[in-house]
């Protein structure tokens, strides 16, 4: 069983003792510290990284809200505020406390608060686990194999084409047409699959039906309605759609 590491902070010894006594009756709770003022609490939380804190609102020098402020959002554990004054309830929830205990409280109210804390921590742990699993999947997921050579059959002949020699690619039904200088070849592949398998540092989609080798771009010329004409080194002119403009800018490393 993973225990909930808990800190109790209250400047009243009897109140602190009562909370610790109730917590010690719970099998899934481990009290890792009890403190009488906010300054001690800040230091302890920073060092011990507890899961849960029962935090008195009114304390000398540094009150409960001061503790939250000093810790900052990255270091604040789950917090249950404890106070004799209900005027602080709204402010407690404004700083995202999971519950609010009004002194004097009974066992039933304390048990209810503790259950809220358990549910909150379970959701948090599940969320953290999900994030870790997603990061792990991204780490171990194999990179898609990038095409560096194409084998094209045409007219009984077999052509071996290096992708870096491609000038541009256009959609042609269930095929794509590969353009290399004066030559062009039909290749049975979809545009989406081609885009996914080509080196994204070199090839970029500039239109729903066109992909261009950025090494072959000579200049950009403004066109109508925010569109541009991409002029290749061999003089080919291709329209850059507005929806793909930002992607091309990222690849070229400049705005236009």
For the four alpha carbons of 194, 199, 203 and 205, in that order, the dihedral sign comes to: positive
pLDDT in tens, 202-236: 899 999 999 999 999 998 888 877 678 999 999 99
pLDDT in tens, 23-64: 999 999 999 999 988 888 899 899 889 999 998 888 877 888
Identify the pLDDT of residue 134.
Answer: 60
Q: Which CATH class is domain 149-252?
A: mainly beta
The residue with tokens 């560096």 is 148
4-140: CATH architecture:
3-Layer(aba) Sandwich (3.40)
Cα–Cα distance between 230 and 52 in angstroms, integer?
A: 59
Cα–Cα distance between 150 and 166 in angstroms, integer?
A: 10
Cα–Cα distance between 162 and 219 in angstroms, integer?
A: 24
User: What would the mean pLDDT of 119-130 be, rounded to a whole number?
Assistant: 76
Q: List the domain boundaries for the chain.
A: 4-140, 149-252
Q: Which pTM was predicted?
A: 0.50
pLDDT in tens, 132-171: 556 655 554 555 567 788 888 877 788 888 999 999 999 9
User: Residue 2 gets which letter from DSSP?
Assistant: -
């Amino acid at each position: 069983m993973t225990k909930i590491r808990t800190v109790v902070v209250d400047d009243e010894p009897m109140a602190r003792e009562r909370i610790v006594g109730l917590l010690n009756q719970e099998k899934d709770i481990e009290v890792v510290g009890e403190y009488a003022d906010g300054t001690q609490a800040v230091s302890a939380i920073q060092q011990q990284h507890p899961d849960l804190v029962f935090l008195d609102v009114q304390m000398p020098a540094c009150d409960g809200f001061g503790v939250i402020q000093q810790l900052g959002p990255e270091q604040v554990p789950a917090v249950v505020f404890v106070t004799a004054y209900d005027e602080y309830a709204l402010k407690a929830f404004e700083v995202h406390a999971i519950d609010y205990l009004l002194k004097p409280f009974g066992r039933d109210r304390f048990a209810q608060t503790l259950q809220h804390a358990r549910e909150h921590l379970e959701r948090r742990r599940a969320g953290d686990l999900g994030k870790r699993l997603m990061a792990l999947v991204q780490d171990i997921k194999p990179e898609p194999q990038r095409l560096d050579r194409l084998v094209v059959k045409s007219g009984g002949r077999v052509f071996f084409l290096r992708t870096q020699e491609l000038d541009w690619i256009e959609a042609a039904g269930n095929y794509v047409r590969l353009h290399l200088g004066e030559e062009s070849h039909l290749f049975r592949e979809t545009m989406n699959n081609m885009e996914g398998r080509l080196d994204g540092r070199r090839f970029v989609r500039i239109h729903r039906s066109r992909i261009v080798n950025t090494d072959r771009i000579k200049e950009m010329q403004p066109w109508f309605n925010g569109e541009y004409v991409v002029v290749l080194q061999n003089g080919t002119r291709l329209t850059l759609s507005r929806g793909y403009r930002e992607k091309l800018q990222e690849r070229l490393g400049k705005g236009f």
